[in-house]
Amino acid sequence: MGKNSESLFQRAQEVIPGGVNSPVRAFRGVGGTPPFIDMALGSRVFDADNLQYIDCVGSWGPMILGHCHRYVVEAVKKAATRGFSFGAPTAAEIEIAEMIVQAVPSMEMVRLVNSGTEATMSALRLARAATGRNTIMKFDGGYHGHVDSLLVKAGSGGATFNLPDSAGVPKEVTALTLSVPYNDLKAVREAMTDDVAAIIVEPVAGNMGCIPPQPGFLQGLREICDEKGSLLILDEVMTGFRVAYGGAQALYDIKPDITTLGKIIGGGMPIGAYGASRKLMELVSPLGPMYQAGTLSGNPLAVASGRATLSVLRNSSIYDDLEERTSEFEEGVRKAAEKHGVPITFNRVGSMWTLFFTEGPVTDFESANQSNREKFARFFHLMLSEGVYLPPSQLEAAFFSAAHAKKDILQLIERADRVLKKVAWEYST
């Protein structure tokens, strides 16, 4: 790593826990010093040592148009000249809410918040208010933000023993959370109780790496919820407007009771949202008894960035292009791994993907954890030295953007081929 990033990391650790403001950025999953990013443009990020990388992280999903998209930048600049925050209603809030409900029919009304964590926290409260029940069911490896009651077997955070995944979370809180294997309807049925207010699920898992739902899994959850009088919450913070314009629920033809969104709807600015039928959302204050509020909710800059991003996505062929390019990358990496004799599993839904260092298949948290972390770490650092910025964890999804041109994909395949050859040689001796 460059001298400037090394120096900045040492300096950061004096005043910021671990030197980072979100744990995965500290590179504990791969070792070494993280590059400190100075700027980004299109498909590239540039670090404090002026080294550039093809970006396969995309700020963990929001940057579907690429960095500094002209239309988004202009929208934010224009909004900034009118004020940063009002703490009052704005016309722009209505416009982005209208765009969301038009794209996601299950969301007849939507409430804007400041993060995906706030969105899922509010969704749980709404489910409990609507059903009068207390228990929540989630899936091993599913991450839904750092909500106390959901920090159980929470994906890349590394839970194992049905205990809280974080100090400071009382066992009494997580006692109201059931966690079962992803893609396992039998386990869901066996664990269901009459006190389950909701099942919350990432329709495509992203925090145990990218793991698609098995055929019939989401529909099975819908049926179980209907049978038991529980609500189905789709956490589309990662998949919303990523795998399709209408999210995973459009891609898989599934109608949840409550949806959470984030990431892309802010175009890189902090934002979140939750929504449901009009009947459910009328339980939310000031209409109903479920209280939820936020000083910066509906922030004008975040709303401007989100509106601009959704406008571009709505009026373009971006999803077809992303599918074509990511598919080409997948095919190239598979061929390279086979050529060099490196066992891998490549999981993908649209432009969301993970390269697992295991023969697979990878269908849940347990099988994801069979991956060879040592090989992944070596692959990661060799790719970084080749100018490719990947998620620094085997259990995180990677993303492409509309700014990733065909030449970027060809360069990525070429570099992955060289790196896999090195990995194969190093682990054969």
Q: 29-83, pLDDT tens digit by residue?
A: 999 999 999 999 999 999 999 999 999 999 999 999 999 999 999 999 999 999 9
pLDDT for position 149? 76
Provide the 10 A C-beta neighbour count for residue 279: 10
pLDDT at 309 over 90: yes
* First-to-final CA distance of the chain: 26
pLDDT at 104 over 50: yes
Nearest Cα residue to 124 out of 190, 176, 183: 176
pLDDT at 160 over 60: no
Strand, coil or helix: what is 173?
helix
pLDDT in tens, 180-207: 999 999 999 999 999 999 999 999 999 9
Share of the chain above pLDDT 70, in %: 97
Residue 79 near residue 301 (C-beta atoms within 8 A): yes
pLDDT in tens, 225-256: 999 999 999 999 999 999 999 999 999 999 99
State the average pLDDT over residues 371-393.
97
Q: Residues in the chain, how many?
A: 429
The DSSP secondary structure of 310-335, one letter per residue, reads HHHHHTS-HHHHHHHHHHHHHHHHHH
State the average pLDDT over residues 292-299.
96
pLDDT in tens, 329-366: 999 999 999 999 999 999 999 999 999 999 999 999 99
Distances in whole angstroms, Cα of residue 237 to Cα of each of 15, 48, 187, 259, 380: 30, 30, 25, 9, 25
Q: How far apart are CA 307 and CA 313, in angstroms?
A: 10
pLDDT for position 161? 32
Split at pLDDT 50, 70, 90, the class of 163 is very low
pLDDT in tens, 396-410: 999 999 999 999 999
The DSSP secondary structure of 54-79, one letter per residue, reads EESSGGGTT-TT-BT-HHHHHHHHHH
pLDDT at 164 over 70: no
pLDDT for position 155? 60
Angle between helices 406-426 and 373-385 (to 10 degrees): 130
pTM for the complete prediction?
0.95
Q: How far apart are CA 210 and CA 277, in angstroms?
A: 29
Share of the chain above pLDDT 90, in %: 91
**Tokens describing residue 30:** 């791969």
Structural fold of domain 3-64+318-426: Aspartate Aminotransferase, domain 1 (3.90.1150)
**Tokens describing residue 248:** 């995973």
pLDDT for position 157? 47
| Residues belonging to the active site | 143, 235, 263
pLDDT at 103 over 60: yes
Label residues 205-225 b or e (16+ Cβ within 10 Å = b): bbbbbbbbbeeebbebbbebb
Split at pLDDT 50, 70, 90, the class of 174 is confident
pLDDT at 150 over 90: no
List strand residue ranges (DSSP E) for 32-150, in order. Answer: 37-41, 44-47, 52-55, 109-113, 135-139
State the average pLDDT over residues 419-424.
98
Question: How far from the centroid of its chain's Cα atoms is residue 29's Cα?
Answer: 18
Domain at 70-314: CATH architecture: 3-Layer(aba) Sandwich (3.40)
**Structural domain boundaries of the chain?**
3-64+318-426, 70-314
State the average pLDDT over residues 151-174.
62
| Mean pLDDT of all residues belonging to the chain | 95
